[in-house]
Amino acid sequence: MKKILIHHGWTNIRPEGHWARIAAAELRSRGNQVWYPQFPDPDTPSAEKWQELIRQEANMMDEVEGGEKIAICHSLGTTNWLIAAMNDLFTKPFDRVLLVAPPDPRLTDQADGIEGDPLDLTNPLLAINAHKWAKNLTVIAGDNDHWLPRGVGIYAPALNVEPLIFEGAGHFSLDQGWGQWSGLTAWIESANPQDLMQH
């Protein structure tokens, strides 16, 4: 049994057919415990409310004995997890954290409806705290993501990781064909990042 938190992104209402919702059902059917909350006001997210919810969800995961603790975050959800790590909101670290399609902070700062200060990729504490709260940290993004015009490489020095680049994956969104993602459930079982490259 694994304990898995799935964190959706901006404007996401956990639609049927989305890879995160499919994965939640598959992982539950295999006997895992899955936290897949709807974050409040997804069109106009409040940083304070999203931070409080991820803190509470992580705490509830810690209340369950045993099992590997895993976070899967998409888009603005990656930003929220990283800000929570920067703010030391967690009580216990995650064994594994997967950041899928993290957006360029320059774009989220300009987006209507997203409040709060943008993530500072130049802050040296970002990598330190990310690895403090994630024993294993994986970043994956498409090579043609409109939310990453500078490329996912901007996260390499910021998080001290080598991101995986999935050719043609876009923003890993449902309207770009991201329904079933066999590589994600394979990675949950294997912990091998290369398994994520299956679609």
Residues of the chain with pLDDT > 70, as a percent, come to 100
Q: What is the pLDDT of residues 150-175, one digit of tens each?
A: 999 999 999 999 999 999 999 999 99
Residues whose CB falls within 8 Å of the CB of residue 128, separated by 6 or more in sequence, listed in order: none
Closest CA to 181 of 149, 142, 145, 146: 142
- pLDDT band per the 50, 70, 90 thresholds, residue 105: very high
pLDDT tens digits, one per residue of 54-76: 999 999 999 999 999 999 999 99
CA distances to 63, 102, 163 from 8, in Å: 22, 11, 20
Are 11 and 5 in contact by the 8 Å Cβ rule? The answer is: no
Q: How far apart are CA 127 and CA 61, in angstroms?
A: 23
The sign of the dihedral angle between the CA atoms of 18, 22, 24, 25 is: positive
**Once rounded to an integer, what is the mean pLDDT over residues 182-192?**
97
Q: What letter would DSSP give residue 102?
A: P
Beta bridge partners of 7: 73
Q: What is the pTM of this model?
A: 0.98
